[in-house]
Chains A and B, each alone.
Chain A
Amino acid sequence: MTVVTDVVCPLCGSVCDDIEVEVEENKITKVIKGACAVGKSKLQGHERIKSPMIRVNGVLKECSYDEAIKKAAELLAKARRPLLYGWSSTVCEADKVGIALAEEIGGVVDNTASVCHGPSVLAIQDVGIPCCTLGQIKNRADLVIYWGSNPANAHMNHMKRYSYISKGYFLPGGKKDKKLAVVDVRETSTSKMAELFAQIEPGKDFLLFSAVRAVLMGYEDIVPDEVGGIPKEKIVTLANMIKESRFFITFFGMGVTQSRCRQNNIVNAIQTTRAGHLHTKGAIMPMRGHYNVNGFNQVCTWETGYPFAVDFSRGFAWYNPGETASTDLLGRGECDVALIIASDPASHFPADAVKHLARIPVIIIDPYHNPTTEFADIVIPSAICGIEAEGSVYRMDNVPIRVRKVVNTDYMSDEEIVERILEEVRAIKEKEGE
């Protein structure tokens, strides 16, 4: 038995990196400390896809990696409108190869941000974002606001490591020195801890941001008696909490990005933060879900100029979410082959997009079975990044961390698989004399 320290958790956007595990016979047998319940479950492993498979006459048949990769490359090389989607639960090294592959075949490359924080990206492109790293919050933020997010259940270590419950340099008393406010459509484990909880009516976030912003900018008189089910008094109290803080942070989740008004909510949230900045110091941050959803956006941006939904059919990178995002492409029935990696669109995409996906050849690269593997035509199992493979990931605050390889595996890594597919595609194209 050996103890491995400083293990990085490959689960959520908090990317906890102080985990200790016990390894016995090349298996993580125990998580000693650092990980939350969900993280522990991932680190200790569960049912895997055993072998590469190709669907023959409607049934998935086991095959070799070589066969699966060759077949995948053939499909992609002859595709007219291929989609390469996912990329968020894998490392940046794999993402890079994926972008090169998309460029090679003139495909569309997109990640799960399309259906989670894509609207946040659009808002940032509109107005920018005042942000900071999570340690800055730990050390300075005396007011923490979670809006449309519930870290007590979704990012379970977030408050303890970085925000409300953590102790910091200027806040040595931890939560004694800090205030917590929560805005959500329902009572949650997080809201129960809050000094101020505003239970907002669904779809009314835009209005409430506007109201808080108005108070911060000195227009309290124009705020009506009630906004989105929240009495004016409470709105003024929240605005005053912001004004009186030394450093406030708003964390927002998919309760705001994927509800009515979408990116406009985030524009307003950012503008509200700027309004707070007239009085004190403030920052705002999206609660990113997958541990490396941000990493794909980072890599895609430095390699193509754009963070997601990049279409290479013109030879150069073309970006126009609404036209080039994966759900747009599938919704229009345009895509003829899809490579899905490290994600499960069958569970998360709109019904018409999933229907189209089920009609076309689908290649999936993933360690685990999921609803998308149910109709995939080629299934390629991969090593689990952060446990069996190493590489870069970007935490929700843009801090890059290298996830570790803790145990050995016979599974190929995502990076190797995509690299092999790319090599095969290039070989096919060369043969065709392109």
Chain B
Amino acid sequence: MVEELRIKNGVVYDPINGVNGERREICIRDGKIVEDVMNPKVIDAEGKVVMPGGVDVHAHIAGGKVNSGRIFRPEDERRGREPKTKVCRSQSGYSVPNTFTTGYRYAKMGYTFVMEPAMPPLLARHTHEEFIDIPILDKAALPLIDNNWMTFDYVKSGDSEKLAAYIAWMIKATKGYGVKLVNPGGTDAWGWAKNQGLNDESEDWGITPAEIIRALAEANEKFEMPHAIHLHQNNLGHPGNFEMTLETYDVTEGVKASKDRSVTHLTHQQFFSYGGTSWKDFESQAKAIAEYVNKNEHVSIDTGTVILGDTTTMTADGPMEYSLYQITGRKWTNCDVELETGAGITPFLYSGKVGVHSIQWTIGLELMLLVKDPWKVALTTDHPNAGPFIGYPIVISTLMSKKRRDEVLSEIHSAVYDKSELPSIDREYDLNEIAIITRAGTAKILGLQEHGKGHLGVGADGDVAIYDISPEERDAGKIQRAFMNTKYTIKGGQIVVKDGEVVAAPEGRTFLVEPIFEDEEIYKEMLSDLETKFRDYYSVTMRNYPVQDAYTPHPYVIKAPMAK
């Protein structure tokens, strides 16, 4: 491993430190950015673009449902196969690649951190086992804590202290990073093949999704959590759902953030920005969503932008996957997880020949172009739901080029001209804004900028992406190619990709948050409630439930004390 590295002559985009396309030198020693180095290996980045390593805020890369997606799609695995090399294990897969491939492909795009956003707590060990087999990247995972019967009990009783104690226990037990919600209330109702809207009262528990969301946001803010609650709200993917989306945004208004960030991160909002009353009069309402985000500080979003083509959809939103399967008639896997959550998986083809899919494609782009402040919006494809992560370079080039957008619009279903604002939007992203929506902003949304991610200031991780492209380049094809395969990717000071080839594949770290709940009495009472759940209803014992240290061989622990 190179101990010292100097990257000279590059044009640096480091938005967190206010560096916007300046010629700067980047020095790295022992894996960290430093002021200067003595005997470095030198990389000449003359005329090339230098950015911090990419940070993905939301991509389903590991765990039970990802693997169920792989198992039932051998046809997907046959796409993109590569033989073993001296450095790389053998590779398979396109929308659901094997673990090794996931690490290599992200690294080739210049990414060094990925958040797995939906870890069923009972299956958390599985997520971590796959993490061990995803090389290069640093990773973290968000446990699902919104359809849990413990959460329901405390929301019902209004016991916010015990709820905070419970989320602290759960995040530690699963070696997780924060609080994830997926169709709160609705996924549990799916246990009876039912679903729930934001203000529907649950027959079994007598509470509404809105109450769950508010309670978890408040519980999250009792700690100095690096990340907001991460919410996939109710009613995903249905025409006309934008109204419920806006109502959902209002639910956490007024909750005070314990850190400098949003209170609620709303994920893959493309799927929630739909107008119309049916698929027939389906239209984009991205404008209404973007306007709300522009006016309010308590929300941040990522987009879930569509990549046209075949993919594998997967989510803890069990009822949504079932309705999608009913539309397509393709294969469908479901997995309800006792007392906690669920999952559904079905393949899907986004076709430019189909009006609805074409409009969906515009919505993910509209959101990014209509939200004025790039720090509030992150680029995702909700991998693999709206498309695989290797489509990011396509999205980047499309955001940077009005010309490319117009070309695609002219090729896909003409409904886009009536049902979407996209054709009339002239805005083009610059490289600084691209750096924000792919690393700086996402690192801030996840609270990682304090932990060395998303920037190139002294003390930051030596994670750097060098793209073989001139800062002035406007050609969409060249932009796409450059962002697909870096000239260099450096992870923790080590060159892992050179000229688009993986040259080293070190093991990555797992980032964990440890919320510290102070009141021992309340914590004990919560544990006693939890013991009852394990004794009577879970199918494993409480002692066998927490993820053992063996599953995080390279942990990076972030303590989250109670908020002052």
Contacts and interface: CB of A to CB of B under 8 A. Distances in A.
Interface in B506-564: 536-541, 543-544, 548, 550
B480 interface: no
B503 interface: no
A401 B77 contact: no
Interface in A100-117: 100, 103
Interface in A114-168: 121, 124-136, 138-140, 161-162, 167-168
B92 A317 contact: yes
Contact of A132 (B126, B337, B541, B548): B337
The B interface, classified by DSSP as helix, strand, loop or mixed, is mixed
A130 B335 CA distance: 6
A343 interface: no
A136 to B, nearest CB: 4
A420 interface: no
Interface string A289-327: 000000001110111111100001011110100000000
Interface string A181-200: 00000000000000000000
A246 B93 CA distance: 38
Interface in B129-150: 129-130, 133, 149
B25 interface: no
B444 to A, nearest CB: 31
B544 A6 contact: yes
Contacts of B334: 128-132, 283
A427 interface: no
A302 B133 CA distance: 8
A319 to B, nearest CB: 6
Interface stretch (A21-29, A202-210, A333-341, A392-400): A392-400
B154 interface: no
16 contacts: A129-B72, A130-B332, A132-B334, A138-B537, A140-B191, A167-B536, A298-B67, A301-B71, A306-B74, A307-B71, A312-B84, A315-B84, A316-B92, A390-B550, A398-B126, A402-B125
A219 interface: no
B84 A103 contact: yes
Given A128-B345, A281-B192, A302-B66, 5 more contacts: A124-B72, A133-B337, A299-B129, A401-B544, A402-B544
B404 interface: no
Given A132-B337, A298-B67, A303-B133, A316 B191 contact: no
A92 interface: yes
A5 interface: yes
Interface in B278-337: 322, 325, 331-337
B192 A127 contact: no
Contacts of A139: 338-339, 537
Chain A interface category by residue count? 35 or more
B509 to A, nearest CB: 19
A353 B426 CA distance: 67
A398 B336 CA distance: 11
A315 B539 contact: no
Chain B interface category by residue count? 35 or more
Given A125-B74, A303-B133, A402-B548, A133 B335 contact: yes
A376 B99 CA distance: 35
A307 to B, nearest CB: 5
Contacts of A401: 125, 540, 544
Nearest to B102: A302
B325 to A, nearest CB: 8
A409 interface: no
Contacts of B130: 302
Interface of A: 5-6, 8, 17-18, 92, 96, 100, 103, 121, 124-136, 138-140, 161-162, 167-170, 246-247, 274, 277, 280-281, 283, 297-299, 301-307, 312, 314-317, 319, 390, 392, 394, 398-402
Given A247-B192, A399-B122, A130 B333 contact: yes
B156 interface: no
Contact of A303 (B82, B98, B548): B98
Given A18-B541, A139-B537, A128 B72 contact: yes
Contact of B89 (A103, A138, A247): A103
Given A304-B90, A316-B83, A317-B92, A298 B126 contact: yes
A129 B90 CA distance: 28
The 5 closest A-B pairs by CB, nearest first: A315-B83, A135-B338, A305-B92, A305-B77, A135-B539
A179 to B, nearest CB: 17
A159 B88 CA distance: 45
A50 B400 CA distance: 69
Contacts of B68: 398
Interface in B373-403: none
Instruction: Give the residue among A126, A136, A161, A247 with the most B Cβ atoms within 10 A.
Output: A136
B244 interface: no
Contacts of B536: 167, 169
Contacts of A392: 125, 129
A139 B339 CA distance: 9
A129 B333 contact: yes
Contacts of B333: 124, 128-131
B543 A6 contact: yes
B192 to A, nearest CB: 5
Contacts of B83: 314-316
Interface string B332-355: 111111110010011000000000
Given A103-B89, A131-B335, A315-B90, A17 B540 contact: yes
Instruction: Give the residue among A127, A130, A167, A170 with the most B Cβ atoms within 10 A.
Output: A130
B111 to A, nearest CB: 19
A100 B550 CA distance: 20
B90 A8 contact: no
B123 interface: yes
Contact of B81 (A162, A168, A317): A317
A325 to B, nearest CB: 14
Nearest to B125: A400
Contacts of B345: 128
B326 to A, nearest CB: 10
A136 B346 contact: no
A400 B129 contact: yes
A299 B66 CA distance: 12
A132 B537 CA distance: 14
Instruction: Give the residue among A8, A132, A246, A314 with the most B Cβ atoms within 10 A.
Output: A132
Nearest to B64: A398
B336 A132 contact: yes
Contacts of B550: 390, 402
A306 B133 CA distance: 15
B193 A280 contact: yes
A317 B336 CA distance: 31
A21 to B, nearest CB: 14
A1 B322 CA distance: 53
Contacts of B92: 304-306, 316-317
Instruction: Give the residue among A100, A126, A139, A301 with the most B Cβ atoms within 10 A.
Output: A301
B82 A316 contact: yes
Interface in B103-129: 122-123, 125-126, 129
B100 interface: yes
Contacts of B540: 17, 135, 399, 401
Contacts of B227: none
Contacts of B73: 125
A298 B69 CA distance: 11
B60 interface: no
B466 to A, nearest CB: 29
B318 to A, nearest CB: 9
A283 B74 contact: no
A312 B98 CA distance: 15
Instruction: Give the residue among A131, A246, A283 with the most B Cβ atoms within 10 A.
Output: A131
B335 A162 contact: no
A236 B81 CA distance: 48
B298 to A, nearest CB: 35
B494 interface: no
Contact of A135 (B100, B332, B537, B543): B537
